[in-house]
Amino acid sequence: MRVFLCAFNNFFLAIPMNSVLSLFLYADGEQQGNSVAYNQFNRTITVSLPLLFNLSHENIRHGIVLQNPGNEDDDTAENKVVLLSTAVECETEIPDEEIFPIPKIFNDTRFSAFFCGMQCADSPVLILNSSALVQYAQKEYVCQA
């Protein structure tokens, strides 16, 4: 699986490339106020991964625009989900045989559904389940707006 790797303090987050529409530099570098924000004007959901994972001390360096499920060819500025993350360190391949399921002990944690697997290395690599994250953000924030 081809992924973009984002480094956090004690782990890496792998974002599958097939779920990414584009990357951009986040020049501001500062955290937004909430972990998830909804812009009613362009119907864009912005998710600050450091804030979502209670890592407010992490600096945001990149924005990652996720593909719009069902509208992969839609390149308009509306209806997007944007992840704000630490620096995208690199793109890499994680062999399928090195991806393991998330241990069941984490099933009751707040964010376990946001990961579809992990790679055990010097620092763990958590593989983002972008569709679960998008569903959560849409359900929690768009429906309330």
Domain boundaries, the chain: 2-142
Burial class (CB in 10 A: 0-12, 13-18, 19+), 32: middle
Residue with token string 């099933």:
107
Q: Using the 8-state DSSP alphabet, how is residue 125 labeled?
A: E
% of the chain surpassing 90 pLDDT: 30
Return d(Cα 67, Cα 130) in angstroms, integer: 9
Task: Please list the residues that pair with 46 across neighbouring strands.
Answer: 37, 82
Which pair of tokens denotes residue 110? 């707040």
Residue 97: its pLDDT value, please? 92
pLDDT digits (tens, 9 = 90+) for 44-93: 888 999 988 888 888 889 999 998 665 555 555 577 889 999 989 999 99
Task: Please list the residues that pair with 64 across neighbouring strands.
Answer: 23, 83
Residue 110: its pLDDT value, please? 63
pTM: 0.82
57 and 83 Cβ atoms separated by less than 8 Å? no
pLDDT digits (tens, 9 = 90+) for 79-111: 788 999 998 999 999 999 999 887 776 666 666
